[in-house]
Copies of this chain bind each other. A is one copy, B any other.
Amino acid sequence: MFFSSELIKGTLKTIILKLLSENKRMYGYEITQTVKELTGDKIQLTEGALYPTLHALEAEGLLTTETEYIGKRVRKYYSLSKDGKTKSLEKVNEFADFISTMKFLLDIKTKTT
């Protein structure tokens, strides 16, 4: 992980929910690759973190799954449930509020592009 790993803590669920809100359905490996690409390798999700989190979100009723076979290889697709869609918005808003608070606290200036 490019960032000291503590920083990522607490954001993984938010990242997953947000990606699924934009993609209808994604499988685990695809999520890791998408995050890697979008962040320029700065965030690389480990499987040991990703899969247990996906299972947890499913157990919470936020995700639904469908399994497909690509040749002989299994692929498990995840989609947002109705609750998952709501939760996705909540999580992103909460994070936006959090970074707003932290920027003020840490006196961080942002380039107005």
Contact = CB atoms under 8 A, between A and B. Distances in A.
Nearest to A96: B108
A94 to B, nearest CB: 7
Contacts of A44: none
Interface size class of A (residues with CB under 8 A): 35 or more
Which of A3, A7, A9, A42 has most chain B Cβ within 10 Å?
A7
A106 B18 contact: yes
A50 interface: no
A99 B10 CA distance: 13
A101 to B, nearest CB: 5
Contact of A98 (B3, B38, B100): B3
Given A9-B9, A42-B97, 7 more contacts: A3-B94, A3-B101, A4-B10, A7-B98, A9-B10, A92-B108, A110-B110
